[in-house]
């Protein structure tokens, strides 16, 4: 299949500017990127006229929840990948806290097979570190890797036993596989849903302290140093975690990290009250000081990438009291517009910086062939209308769920076309 994208604006990292380019795609690969002043010979190929819109490598999200198998009433692979495509994502990595837990080769193969049948973007499955994510017995790493798992994580719960985590890291390292850690000490969070900060004090709530995350980060950094494993920290949210990760990188530990848009944009002081569970997520919204710390960490490279932690739940579940409602918000369809509007349009970041943290950097960390607009690269491409401003309308989400605190926010930078391996998988 031949496809041309003409009159697009591509970010040039060397010049720090957008430059007009035409891109030719053949058989799922980028065949050529030519200067926009030239006249492309499109012949009989399909043509997309980008009309000056941003043409970017497809966004990569290394932390998502597709809820399939087991919780398909929240989301499934078909709706989740459509939502990802609408948000401009071309590669996503799904977490294993499904039912059954993704702890067997059979379940990994199910996810890969279903993604090939009904998914519209690339789906990379993680497998769990321990059987049923109970922290008692390691899964069969070798068979899970052979089936197609790209790493091991008990996301949703922290591995509480240090010896279990060390054993997992040593085994993963021997197989050249990463350990991806949800960092949370259960003894410090039981019975709480909001961070230990101004909001919890105001409402007389037990708070989740920052140490609940940072204790596991510190422990795991030492275990990663001892074992040599690639250790990746999920959804960093605290100043203390940032300090530990920064120090670990300085002394040569193989640690990488991620952050979510909501932890870059919202603090516990933004929570409007006790009657809206769309503000309940794990990790919780932290203090303004923590927000500033994770922003600075993303800017200086301590945190390597942006992820969404897309976590859909049904409207009925989120309508419960905040104490009883599940943790999590959806994130695919608002991630880029949020960060573009709040950081790039305000002059805090360059467009190139944001694109790097959403494309090239996750590809580098997880050794993916995508994340670049170069000859020979997979034709995973996102076209974005940077000038289009509109309000977030959760009723229009392609996801089955609309649990977001960002409803009504006026944002710019909406993806309009998403291409995977040279095929258009979503177009506005």
Q: Which residues contact 278 (CB under 8 A, 6 or more apart)?
A: 318, 329, 403, 404, 405, 407
CA nearest 237: which of 193, 279, 286, 190? 286
Q: How far is CA 173 from the centre of its chain?
A: 23
With residue 117 as reference, give the H or E element that holds it.
helix 105-118
Distance CA 64, CA 144 (A): 19
CA nearest 180: which of 210, 211, 150, 222? 150
Residue 309 is a catalytic residue: yes
Residue 160 is encoded by which pair of tokens? 């509480």
Q: How many CB atoms lie within 10 A of CB 243?
A: 16
Strand-pair category, 54-57 with 381-391: antiparallel
Q: How far is CA 84 from the centre of its chain?
A: 10
Distance CA 330, CA 65 (A): 9
Q: Which residues contact 132 (CB under 8 A, 6 or more apart)?
A: 100, 101, 103
Contact 398, 356 (CB under 8 A): no
Backbone angles phi, psi at 45, to 5 degrees: -70, 155
Residue 284 is encoded by which pair of tokens? 């919780």
Max CA-CA distance within the chain?
Answer: 68
Query: What Rg, from alpha-carbon coordinates, does the chain have?
Result: 21
DSSP SS3 for 416: strand
Q: Which residues pair with 19 in a beta bridge?
A: 10
- Inter-CA distances, 400 with 100, 132, 393, 425, Å: 20, 26, 14, 18
Selected catalytic residue, list 68, 309, 361, 421: 309
What is the Cβ-side half-sphere exposure of residue 126, based on CA atoms within 13 angstroms? 33
With residue 83 as reference, give the H or E element that holds it.
helix 77-86
How many degrees, rounded to 5, is the angle at CA 250 between CA 244 and CA 253?
75
> Could you list the active site residues?
309
């Amino acid at each position: 299949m031949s496809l041309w994208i003409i009159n697009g604006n591509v970010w040039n990292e060397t010049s720090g500017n957008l430059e007009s380019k035409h891109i030719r795609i053949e058989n799922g690969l980028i065949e050529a990127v030519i200067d926009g002043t030239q006249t492309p010979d499109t012949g009989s190929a399909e043509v997309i006229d980008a009309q000056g819109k941003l043409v970017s490598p497809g966004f990569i999200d290394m932390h998502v929840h597709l809820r399939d198998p087991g919780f398909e009433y929240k989301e499934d692979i078909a709706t989740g990948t459509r939502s990802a495509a609408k948000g401009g994502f071309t590669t996503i990595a799904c977490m294993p806290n499904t039912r059954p837990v993704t702890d067997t080769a059979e379940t990994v193969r199910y996810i890969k097979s279903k993604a090939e049948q009904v998914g519209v973007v690339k789906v990379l499955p993680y497998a769990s570190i321990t059987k049923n994510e109970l922290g008692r017995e390691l899964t069969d790493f070798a068979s899970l890797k052979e089936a197609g798992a790209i790493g091991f994580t008990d996301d949703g719960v922290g591995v509480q036993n240090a010896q279990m985590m060390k054993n997992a890291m040593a085994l993963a390292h021997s197989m050249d596989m990463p350990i991806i850690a949800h960092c949370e000490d259960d003894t410090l969070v039981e019975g709480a849903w909001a961070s230990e900060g101004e909001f919890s004090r105001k409402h007389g709530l037990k708070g989740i302290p920052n140490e609940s995350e940072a204790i596991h980060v510190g422990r795991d950094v030492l275990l990663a140093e001892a074992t040599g494993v690639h250790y990746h920290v999920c959804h960093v949210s605290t100043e203390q975690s940032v300090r530990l990760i920064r120090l670990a990188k300085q002394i040569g530990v193989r640690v990488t990290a991620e952050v979510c848009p909501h932890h870059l944009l919202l603090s516990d002081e933004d929570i409007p009250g006790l009657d809206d569970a769309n503000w309940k997520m794990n990790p919780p919204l932290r203090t303004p000081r923590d927000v500033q710390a994770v922003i600075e960490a993303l800017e200086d490279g301590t945190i390597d990438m942006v992820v969404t932690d897309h976590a859909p739940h049904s409207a009925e579940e989120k309508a419960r009291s905040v104490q009883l409602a599940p943790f999590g918000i959806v994130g695919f369809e608002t991630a880029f517009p949020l960060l573009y509007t709040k950081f790039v349009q305000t002059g805090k970041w360059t467009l190139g910086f944001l694109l790097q943290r959403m494309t090239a950097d996750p590809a580098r960390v997880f050794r993916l062939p995508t994340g670049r607009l170069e000859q020979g690269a997979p034709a995973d491409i996102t076209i974005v209308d940077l000038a289009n401003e509109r309000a977030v309308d959760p009723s229009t989400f392609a996801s089955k769920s609309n649990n977001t605190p960002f409803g009504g926010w006026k944002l710019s930078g909406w993806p309009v076309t998403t291409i995977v391996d040279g095929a258009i998988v979503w177009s506005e």
